[in-house]
Amino acid sequence: MNFKKLILIFLLFFLTACNQFDKNEKSLVFISNQKYSNTGFALVYDEKLKKEKKISKKIDNRSLLIFHNKIKKNSFVKITNPVNDKSIIAEVISNNVKFSDFYNSVITKRIAEELSLNPKEPYIDLVLISNNSTFIAKKAKTFEEEKKVAEKAPVDGIKIDNIGLEKEKVKKIKKQTFLYSIKIADFYYRDSAENMISRIKDETSIKNSTIKKLSKTKYRVLLGPFNDIKKLEKSFNEIKVLNFENIEILKDV
Protein backbone atom coordinates (compact mmCIF):
# COMPACT_ATOMS: atom_id res chain seq x y z
CA MET A 1 0.00 0.00 0.00
CA ASN A 2 2.81 2.40 0.91
CA PHE A 3 4.47 1.66 -2.42
CA LYS A 4 1.30 2.62 -4.33
CA LYS A 5 1.04 5.86 -2.37
CA LEU A 6 4.64 6.71 -3.25
CA ILE A 7 3.96 6.15 -6.96
CA LEU A 8 0.83 8.35 -6.75
CA ILE A 9 2.75 11.15 -5.00
CA PHE A 10 5.54 10.94 -7.58
CA LEU A 11 3.07 11.20 -10.48
CA LEU A 12 1.35 14.23 -8.93
CA PHE A 13 4.72 15.92 -8.39
CA PHE A 14 5.80 15.17 -11.96
CA LEU A 15 2.62 16.56 -13.52
CA THR A 16 2.81 19.69 -11.39
CA ALA A 17 6.42 20.24 -12.38
CA CYS A 18 5.55 19.83 -16.07
CA ASN A 19 2.74 22.38 -15.82
CA GLN A 20 5.04 24.82 -14.04
CA PHE A 21 7.70 24.29 -16.71
CA ASP A 22 5.21 25.03 -19.48
CA LYS A 23 4.21 28.30 -17.82
CA ASN A 24 7.79 29.43 -17.25
CA GLU A 25 8.95 28.45 -20.72
CA LYS A 26 6.03 29.97 -22.65
CA SER A 27 8.29 32.59 -24.22
CA LEU A 28 10.62 29.91 -25.61
CA VAL A 29 8.06 28.22 -27.87
CA PHE A 30 9.02 28.48 -31.53
CA ILE A 31 7.48 27.32 -34.80
CA SER A 32 9.23 24.54 -36.70
CA ASN A 33 8.39 22.89 -40.01
CA GLN A 34 7.71 19.12 -39.97
CA LYS A 35 8.70 18.85 -43.62
CA TYR A 36 12.33 19.82 -44.22
CA SER A 37 12.87 22.80 -46.45
CA ASN A 38 15.58 25.40 -46.73
CA THR A 39 16.11 28.55 -48.74
CA GLY A 40 19.66 29.70 -49.29
CA PHE A 41 22.74 29.48 -51.48
CA ALA A 42 23.89 26.28 -53.16
CA LEU A 43 27.52 25.46 -53.82
CA VAL A 44 27.93 24.62 -57.52
CA TYR A 45 30.51 21.84 -57.80
CA ASP A 46 33.82 22.47 -59.53
CA GLU A 47 37.02 20.41 -59.58
CA LYS A 48 38.88 23.37 -58.05
CA LEU A 49 36.78 23.04 -54.89
CA LYS A 50 38.06 19.50 -54.36
CA LYS A 51 41.68 20.50 -55.02
CA GLU A 52 41.38 23.45 -52.62
CA LYS A 53 39.82 21.10 -50.02
CA LYS A 54 36.64 23.15 -49.82
CA ILE A 55 34.71 19.95 -50.40
CA SER A 56 35.67 16.42 -49.39
CA LYS A 57 34.22 14.37 -52.26
CA LYS A 58 33.76 14.54 -56.03
CA ILE A 59 30.42 14.55 -57.83
CA ASP A 60 29.58 13.95 -61.50
CA ASN A 61 28.71 17.35 -62.95
CA ARG A 62 26.47 15.71 -65.57
CA SER A 63 24.20 14.18 -62.95
CA LEU A 64 20.98 15.12 -61.15
CA LEU A 65 22.62 14.37 -57.80
CA ILE A 66 23.42 16.58 -54.82
CA PHE A 67 25.28 16.50 -51.50
CA HIS A 68 23.39 17.50 -48.35
CA ASN A 69 24.46 17.32 -44.71
CA LYS A 70 21.01 16.89 -43.11
CA ILE A 71 18.92 14.83 -45.51
CA LYS A 72 19.54 11.09 -45.64
CA LYS A 73 21.09 9.41 -48.65
CA ASN A 74 18.81 8.36 -51.57
CA SER A 75 16.15 10.92 -50.65
CA PHE A 76 14.58 13.05 -53.36
CA VAL A 77 14.39 16.84 -53.23
CA LYS A 78 12.74 19.49 -55.34
CA ILE A 79 15.08 22.39 -56.12
CA THR A 80 13.60 25.66 -57.37
CA ASN A 81 15.11 28.87 -58.65
CA PRO A 82 12.90 31.56 -56.98
CA VAL A 83 13.89 34.13 -59.62
CA ASN A 84 12.32 32.29 -62.58
CA ASP A 85 10.32 29.50 -60.82
CA LYS A 86 12.18 26.77 -62.71
CA SER A 87 12.44 23.55 -60.71
CA ILE A 88 14.05 20.13 -60.94
CA ILE A 89 14.05 16.87 -58.99
CA ALA A 90 17.40 15.67 -57.65
CA GLU A 91 18.61 12.81 -55.46
CA VAL A 92 20.79 13.10 -52.38
CA ILE A 93 23.80 10.89 -53.15
CA SER A 94 25.57 11.49 -49.83
CA ASN A 95 25.02 13.25 -46.48
CA ASN A 96 28.51 12.94 -45.01
CA VAL A 97 30.44 15.20 -47.37
CA LYS A 98 32.27 18.11 -45.78
CA PHE A 99 31.61 21.60 -47.17
CA SER A 100 30.84 25.04 -45.73
CA ASP A 101 27.62 25.25 -43.69
CA PHE A 102 26.90 28.54 -45.44
CA TYR A 103 25.60 26.48 -48.38
CA ASN A 104 22.43 24.41 -48.02
CA SER A 105 23.66 21.82 -50.55
CA VAL A 106 26.22 21.02 -53.23
CA ILE A 107 24.66 20.84 -56.68
CA THR A 108 26.06 19.94 -60.09
CA LYS A 109 26.66 22.30 -62.99
CA ARG A 110 23.92 20.50 -64.85
CA ILE A 111 21.36 21.36 -62.17
CA ALA A 112 22.58 24.96 -62.09
CA GLU A 113 22.19 25.21 -65.87
CA GLU A 114 18.76 23.54 -65.89
CA LEU A 115 17.56 26.12 -63.35
CA SER A 116 19.36 29.03 -65.06
CA LEU A 117 21.01 30.00 -61.78
CA ASN A 118 23.15 33.10 -61.52
CA PRO A 119 26.72 31.70 -61.09
CA LYS A 120 27.60 34.57 -58.74
CA GLU A 121 24.35 34.21 -56.78
CA PRO A 122 23.14 30.56 -56.88
CA TYR A 123 20.06 31.09 -54.69
CA ILE A 124 17.63 28.16 -54.39
CA ASP A 125 14.61 26.75 -52.55
CA LEU A 126 15.19 23.12 -51.51
CA VAL A 127 12.32 20.90 -50.27
CA LEU A 128 12.46 17.27 -49.20
CA ILE A 129 9.90 15.06 -50.96
CA SER A 130 8.60 12.10 -48.97
CA ASN A 131 9.16 8.64 -50.43
CA ASN A 132 5.43 7.89 -50.54
CA SER A 133 4.64 11.08 -52.45
CA THR A 134 2.62 10.56 -55.64
CA PHE A 135 4.84 13.21 -57.20
CA ILE A 136 7.88 11.00 -56.68
CA ALA A 137 6.02 7.97 -58.05
CA LYS A 138 5.26 9.84 -61.28
CA LYS A 139 8.76 11.27 -61.56
CA ALA A 140 10.82 8.16 -60.69
CA LYS A 141 10.83 6.72 -64.20
CA THR A 142 11.60 10.08 -65.81
CA PHE A 143 14.40 10.69 -63.31
CA GLU A 144 16.12 7.40 -64.15
CA GLU A 145 15.84 8.08 -67.89
CA GLU A 146 17.33 11.56 -67.51
CA LYS A 147 20.07 10.17 -65.28
CA LYS A 148 21.15 7.68 -67.98
CA VAL A 149 21.23 10.44 -70.60
CA ALA A 150 23.30 12.65 -68.32
CA GLU A 151 25.93 9.97 -67.79
CA LYS A 152 26.67 9.91 -71.52
CA ALA A 153 26.38 13.59 -72.40
CA PRO A 154 28.70 16.55 -71.76
CA VAL A 155 27.41 19.21 -69.36
CA ASP A 156 27.15 21.85 -72.07
CA GLY A 157 25.10 19.54 -74.28
CA ILE A 158 22.34 18.65 -71.84
CA LYS A 159 18.86 20.02 -72.49
CA ILE A 160 15.93 17.93 -71.23
CA ASP A 161 12.32 19.11 -71.05
CA ASN A 162 9.83 17.83 -68.48
CA ILE A 163 7.85 14.94 -70.00
CA GLY A 164 4.13 15.59 -70.33
CA LEU A 165 4.46 19.34 -69.70
CA GLU A 166 4.31 22.17 -72.20
CA LYS A 167 7.43 24.23 -72.67
CA GLU A 168 7.33 27.37 -70.59
CA LYS A 169 7.70 30.69 -72.29
CA VAL A 170 11.00 32.39 -71.63
CA LYS A 171 10.51 35.23 -69.16
CA LYS A 172 12.59 38.37 -69.20
CA ILE A 173 14.26 38.68 -65.82
CA LYS A 174 15.15 42.12 -64.54
CA LYS A 175 18.53 42.61 -62.95
CA GLN A 176 18.13 42.53 -59.18
CA THR A 177 20.29 43.97 -56.44
CA PHE A 178 21.94 41.76 -53.84
CA LEU A 179 19.81 42.02 -50.68
CA TYR A 180 19.43 39.09 -48.28
CA SER A 181 18.57 38.49 -44.62
CA ILE A 182 19.29 35.53 -42.35
CA LYS A 183 16.19 33.89 -40.88
CA ILE A 184 16.89 32.51 -37.40
CA ALA A 185 13.45 31.14 -36.50
CA ASP A 186 9.70 31.84 -36.28
CA PHE A 187 8.10 32.14 -32.81
CA TYR A 188 4.55 31.98 -31.45
CA TYR A 189 5.17 34.76 -28.93
CA ARG A 190 6.86 38.12 -29.29
CA ASP A 191 8.57 37.48 -25.92
CA SER A 192 10.28 34.48 -27.48
CA ALA A 193 11.55 36.57 -30.37
CA GLU A 194 12.80 39.29 -28.00
CA ASN A 195 14.60 36.71 -25.84
CA MET A 196 16.30 35.38 -28.97
CA ILE A 197 17.40 38.89 -29.96
CA SER A 198 18.91 39.35 -26.49
CA ARG A 199 20.75 36.04 -26.73
CA ILE A 200 22.20 36.93 -30.13
CA LYS A 201 23.45 40.28 -28.82
CA ASP A 202 24.91 38.69 -25.67
CA GLU A 203 26.65 35.74 -27.32
CA THR A 204 27.79 37.22 -30.65
CA SER A 205 29.01 40.54 -32.04
CA ILE A 206 26.00 40.73 -34.39
CA LYS A 207 23.88 43.81 -33.77
CA ASN A 208 21.62 44.09 -36.83
CA SER A 209 18.89 41.72 -35.61
CA THR A 210 15.21 42.55 -36.00
CA ILE A 211 11.74 41.10 -35.36
CA LYS A 212 9.20 40.94 -38.16
CA LYS A 213 5.55 40.38 -37.21
CA LEU A 214 3.95 38.01 -39.73
CA SER A 215 0.70 37.48 -37.82
CA LYS A 216 -0.73 37.59 -34.29
CA THR A 217 0.95 34.27 -33.52
CA LYS A 218 4.03 34.39 -35.72
CA TYR A 219 7.12 36.53 -35.10
CA ARG A 220 10.25 36.10 -37.22
CA VAL A 221 13.78 36.88 -36.04
CA LEU A 222 16.00 38.14 -38.84
CA LEU A 223 19.57 39.33 -39.22
CA GLY A 224 20.35 41.93 -41.84
CA PRO A 225 19.65 42.87 -44.51
CA PHE A 226 23.04 42.34 -46.19
CA ASN A 227 24.05 43.79 -49.55
CA ASP A 228 27.33 41.90 -49.74
CA ILE A 229 27.80 38.13 -49.83
CA LYS A 230 31.01 38.25 -47.77
CA LYS A 231 29.29 40.10 -44.93
CA LEU A 232 26.36 37.71 -45.20
CA GLU A 233 28.60 34.66 -44.95
CA LYS A 234 30.58 36.15 -42.05
CA SER A 235 27.41 36.73 -39.99
CA PHE A 236 26.07 33.30 -40.97
CA ASN A 237 29.23 31.59 -39.73
CA GLU A 238 29.22 33.63 -36.52
CA ILE A 239 25.64 32.72 -35.69
CA LYS A 240 26.44 28.99 -36.05
CA VAL A 241 27.88 28.90 -32.52
CA LEU A 242 24.32 29.16 -31.18
CA ASN A 243 23.48 25.81 -32.84
CA PHE A 244 20.19 26.76 -34.49
CA GLU A 245 18.45 23.87 -36.21
CA ASN A 246 17.69 25.22 -39.69
CA ILE A 247 19.01 28.69 -40.55
CA GLU A 248 17.73 30.06 -43.84
CA ILE A 249 18.72 32.93 -46.10
CA LEU A 250 15.80 34.98 -47.43
CA LYS A 251 15.85 37.39 -50.35
CA ASP A 252 14.39 40.93 -50.25
CA VAL A 253 12.50 40.61 -46.94
> What DSSP line would sit under the chain, residue for residue?
-HHHHHHHHHHHHHHHHHHHHHHHTGGG-EE--SS-EEEEEEEE--HHHHHTTSBSS---TTSSEEE-SSSPTT-EEEEEETTTTEEEEEEEEES---B-TTEEEEE-HHHHHHTT-BTTB-EEEEEEE-TT-HHHHHHHHHHHHHHHHHHHS-GGG---PPTTSPPPPPPP-------EEEEEEEESSHHHHHHHHHHHHHHSS---EEEEEEETTEEEEEEEEESSHHHHHHHHHHHGGG--S--EEEE--
How much is the pLDDT for 240?
84
In this predicted structure, the answer to whether residue 148 has a pLDDT above a threshold of 70 is no
Q: What is the pLDDT of residues 10-48, one digit of tens each?
A: 555 544 444 443 444 444 454 544 578 999 999 999 999
Q: What is the pLDDT of residues 100-130, one digit of tens each?
A: 999 999 999 999 999 999 999 999 999 998 7
How much is the pLDDT for 19?
46
Q: Is 180-251 in CATH node 3.30.70.1070?
A: yes
Give the pLDDT band of residue 154 (cuts 50, 70, 90): low
How much is the pLDDT for 29?
52
- Domain assignments of the chain as residue spans, ordered by start: 37-157, 180-251
Write down the mean pLDDT value for the chain. Answer: 79
Its pTM stands at 0.70
- Asked if domains 37-157 and 180-251 share a fold, the reply is no
Query: What is the homologous superfamily of the domain 37-157 according to CATH?
Result: RlpA-like domain (2.40.40.10)
In this predicted structure, the answer to whether residue 202 has a pLDDT above a threshold of 80 is yes
